[in-house]
Structure formats: C-alpha cells, structure tokens
Structure 1
C-alpha cells in the first residue's frame, strides 16, 4: 500500500513539473497556436487548448489500462496523473476560469494565491511576458497576505 501511495504521489508530482515545463516552453513556444485560445476571450465552452487535457488524460488512461491486471506501478502512476487532472479541472477550470460556476471565489490563502498567480499569468494574451506556469508551483509572492 505504501508503494502504491508513493507511485500516486510520483504521478501527481510528475504532472505538475512536466506540466510547468510543457506550459512554459512548449505551450508558450512552438505550440502557441493551440494554447493561445486559452489566452483569448471565448464564446464557446470548449477551446482548442482543451486538446492538451485530452492528451494528458489519454496518457493516464493508457497507464491505468497497462497496469490494471497486476495493479503495478503503471496503474498507480496513472491514478496520480488522474488525481492531478481532477484537481486541475476543479482549481483551474471551475475556480479560476469559472467555466462551471460551482463555487464562489476562494477565501483560503492557498487558493487565493493560486487564483492571483493565474490572473497574473493571463494579464497578457501574448506568447511572451507571461508569469507563473504551474498549478501548484507558484511564485511565493502570490501567497502574501493582503493588507487590510
């Protein structure tokens, strides 16, 4: 059981760090033509950028299917990637971008920090000049308490 939890954490962490790298160097680089739809106002629920979620989700499904017979490391890493995807959807699409209006804006300091960092990321709709490329790996200045 401890090994399974370790592989779940590994899959989750791998998604955050590879997601940060892919977002900064590929999405804001050669894949900008796809990702820019996320930085522009949209009149539709889906955007071309959602293809990245399909890709990452497909990797998780393949790993889960390859490892389900023996519940080996592939299964648990796939579960970690899936857990990351679920939290990403809730934090990014629901809480920050309000694609589904399930919750109010966050009051929690951690969630506010993530929210502020993502707002800062979207201050530009250009390929360059964006900041804060991770979901959880966020510069610490976004977590400072607001003065009252």
Structure 2
C-alpha cells in the first residue's frame, strides 16, 4: 500500500514537472500552432489544444494497462497521472477557464494563487511573452494577498 501511494505521488509529480517543461518549451515553442488555440478566444467547447490532453491521457492508459496484471509501479504511476489529469480538468478547464460553470471565484489563498498565475499566463496571446507554465508549480508572488 505504501508503494502504491509512493508511485501515485511520483506519477502526479512527474506529470506536473513534465507538464511545466512541455508547456514552456514545446507548447510555447515548436508546438505553438496547436497550443495557440488555447490563448485565443473560442466559440467552441473544444479547441485544437485539447489534443495534448488526449496525448497525456493515453500515456496514463498505456501505463495502467501495462501494469494492471501485476499491479506494479506502472499501474500506480498511471493512476497518479490520471489523478493529475482529473485535477487539471477541474482546476484548469472547469474552474479557471469556466468551460463548465460549476465554481465561483476562489477564496482559498492557495487556489487564488493558482488562479492569478494562470490569468497572468493568459495576459499575452503571444508565443514568447507568457509566464507561469505549471498548474501547481507557480511563482510565489501569485500567492501574496492582494491589497484590498
């Protein structure tokens, strides 16, 4: 059980780190033609950028299928990536971008920091002007309380 929790945490953390790197150096680099749809106004529920979710989800499914028989590390890492994907969907797509109107503005300081960091990321619709590329790994300055 401890191994399972450890590998779930590893999968989750690896997804955040890999996601940060992929977002900064690939999505805002050679894959900008796909990712830019996320930085532009859209009239559709889906955008071309959603292909990245399918790719990351596929990695999780493959790991789960490879490890399901033995319930080995591959299975649990795949579960960790899946948990990350679920939280990403809820926090990023539902809550921040309001694809589904389930939640209001954040009140929790941690969630407010994530929200502010993502808003800062989207202040620019240009490939090279973006900041804050992680979902959970965001600069500390976004967690400071606003002067009200």
Measured against the shorter chain, the TM-score band is: over 0.9
Deviation, 1:105, is: 1.2
* Alignment-derived partner of residue 93 in structure 1: 93
What does residue range 133-144 of structure 1 map to in structure 2 within 5 Å? 133-144=133-144
Q: Distance in 1 between matches of 2:13 and 2:93?
A: 20
Q: Deviations over 1:108-141 (max 9, x none)?
A: 1000000000000000000011000000000000
* Alignment-derived partner of residue 110 in structure 1: 110
Q: Distance in 1 between matches of 2:103 and 2:92?
A: 12
* Alignment-derived partner of residue 64 in structure 1: 64
* Alignment partner of 1:9 is 2:9: yes
What RMSD in Å do the two structures reach over aligned CA positions?
0.5
Query: Could you list the runs of 5+ residues in structure 1 that have no partner in the other structure?
Result: none
Give secondary structure in 2 for the equivalent of 1:86: helix
TM-score, length basis structure 2 = 0.99
* Alignment partner of 1:124 is 2:124: yes
Q: Deviations over 1:54-96 (max 9, x none)?
A: 0000000010011000100000000000000000001100110
Give secondary structure in 1 for the equivalent of 2:40: coil
Query: Could you list the runs of 5+ residues in structure 2 that have no partner in the other structure?
Result: none
What does residue range 11-90 of structure 1 map to in structure 2 within 5 Å? 11-90=11-90
Q: Distance in 2 between matches of 1:87 and 1:42?
A: 23
Deviation, 1:146, is: 1.4
Q: Distance in 1 between matches of 2:74 and 2:51?
A: 23
Tell me which stretches of 4 or more aligned residues in structure 1 moved more than 6 Å: none
